[in-house]
Amino acid sequence: MSTVAESNIKLTPEHDAHPTASVRARLQDLLPKIVLAPSFAATIIFVYGFILWTIYLSFTNSKTFPSYDITGARAYQRLWRWTFESDPPSSWYTSITNMGIFGFLYILICLALGLFLAILLDQKIRGEGVLRPIYLYPMALSFIVTGVAWKWFLDPGLGLEQTLHQWGWTSFHFDWIKNKDFVIYTVVIAGVWQASGFIMAMFLAGLRGIDGEIMKAAQIDGATTFQLYRRIVIPLLRPVFLSAFIVLAHLAIKSYDLVVALTSGGPGGSAWLPSNFMYEFTFKRNEMAVGSASAVIMLMTIAAIMVPYIYSETREQNR
Amino acid sequence: MNAADLITSTPARRGPGHSRTTRIVIYGLLLLFALVYLVPLLVMVMTSLKPLDEVTGGNMFALPRHLTFAPWSMAWGEARIGVSDTRGIVARNKARIEELRGATPATRLQPGVGCVSGPPTLMRAILATSTRALRTKSAGEIEPLQ
């Protein structure tokens, strides 16, 4: 008891004796908070505030300009109706089916190709330092550049088809980029070209992190190379699969610029993704409420993917 | 050890040495994919060094026959992102736009333009004249703003 009281007595006069020092100490404590405050405030307003504003707008009757009269879930009802309107397909129906096709193929091919290239590169390859950046560089390009480069490359009149015709293969036909049923697959090609190298790097890091002793033990037990990868390496890479999936899934849902640069929306909007739908309806077709509703649906989709991931991550950290 | 270290560190010696054929297949596949990743870049760079008739008439993979750096200097010096399409139209219709900007009586305007007043009139007039300009002349022929 007495020691506590003594120390209290001792501490208090010191504070009084050097008021400037205490102000400085307090300032030093506060400084990180002061420095971070503007960006914190900006995030609160411009990210979360505008998310709330978008949710609010989706329940109003906003057309060209935001309106603040709440009219209920009309925009969602329209989207719900359009979801099943497949003959002729509404642009919302096209957007979400495209999202399904693009998301599925993009994630699957990127994972498969990335893993395949990583395994090949991990076989004590000479010149690995040259090959790795070649696979990786597309990730450094913006989606607009990728889109323009592939638009050029896939154009039937200028690109691959024309070139092969000149080389003598005149029956060659490849006009997916102009075909409303196949245009979404050209977006997959360009997207995979851009992201698979990055996924390769993720898998390569995972492969290099695997303990060589495990591999040796399996080989001594007589496992073939195929068995080794099928039964040991790929199961060990599970966390990499999960991270790669998260990266690819959010890239797929956010894709907007790739569709615009590569196809300008495709013939009759046949290459639209939900993000293109959102932009077109909000800013071009004067249907701000419907655009906001589709944005909210996209946010919910991303949340459905991200929240379980973040939850499992934090739970593992706490353990 | 972070991911970058893992990638750049020398690969651990592991697994039995591959046979000659397996090595050839591995290298073949790796080089094939390297080519696939490089082709769009190579095509873009080569195309940027070709004159226009070689671009439209020639082969995508052919090396430029007449090397030109004009597109690069153009991109550096002349291209204005977002305004290149309109400046020609603005220059062509300068007089008309000036006229519209002033308080012009509706009767003096072109028929079909002068039915409404206020700022939308200006926008609509520019739209109307620009579509007319584009109809009569292709976009490429519009001379740039001096």
Its sign, for the CA torsion A181, A184, A188, A193, is positive
Question: What pLDDT is recorded for position B143?
Answer: 43
Closest CA to A294 of A37, A26, A54: A54
- The pLDDT of A63-80, averaged and rounded, is 84
From A57, A78, A101, the end of a domain falls on A57
Separation of alpha carbons A289 and A48, rounded Å:
18
What's the number of CA atoms in the CB half-sphere (13 Å) around residue B91? 12
Answer whether residue A186 is part of any domain: yes
Answer whether residue A288 is part of any domain: yes
Instruction: Provide the mean pLDDT of chain A.
Output: 84
Chain B environment of A167 (Cβ under 8 Å): 59
Separation of alpha carbons A9 and A12, rounded Å:
6
* A140 and A235 assigned to the same domain: yes
* A53 and A200 assigned to the same domain: no
Answer whether residue A306 is part of any domain: yes
Report whether pLDDT(A27) > 60.
yes
Answer whether residue A140 is part of any domain: yes
Pair of tokens at residue B75:
């991109």
* A178 and A228 assigned to the same domain: yes
* A24 and A170 assigned to the same domain: no
* A29 and A95 assigned to the same domain: no
Helix axes A128-136, B20-48, angle to 10 degrees: 50
Answer whether residue A205 is part of any domain: yes
Identify whether the C-beta of residue A134 lies closer than 8 Å to the C-beta of residue A155: no
* A133 and A47 assigned to the same domain: no
Inspect the interface and report whether the beta carbons of A159 and B61 lie closer than 8 Å.
Answer: no
* A138 and A24 assigned to the same domain: no
Number of domains comprising chain A: 2
Pair of tokens at residue A233:
């390496």
Q: What residues in chain B have per-residue pLDDT under 70? A: 1-17, 79-146
Chain A environment of B56 (Cβ under 8 Å): 158
Å from B108 to nearest chain A CA? 31
**Could you tell me which chain A residue has the CA closest to the CA of B28?**
A120
* A173 and A306 assigned to the same domain: yes
Furthest C-alpha separation in chain A = 100
Residue A66 confidence class, pLDDT cut points 50, 70, 90: confident
Nearest CB to A120: which of B30, B43, B56? B30
* Residue numbers of the domain that contains A309: 90-318
Its sign, for the CA torsion B40, B42, B43, B48, is positive
Pair of tokens at residue B133:
């300009």
* A130 and A32 assigned to the same domain: no
Inspect the interface and report whether the beta carbons of B37 and A134 lie closer than 8 Å.
Answer: yes
* A186 and A299 assigned to the same domain: yes
* A167 and A229 assigned to the same domain: yes
Separation of alpha carbons B6 and A211, rounded Å:
12
Strand partners, A86: A89
* A17 and A98 assigned to the same domain: no
- The pLDDT of A188-210, averaged and rounded, is 91
Pick the most confident of A252-256, A269-273, B25-29, B113-117.
B25-29
Look up the CATH number of the domain holding residue A300: 1.10.3720.10
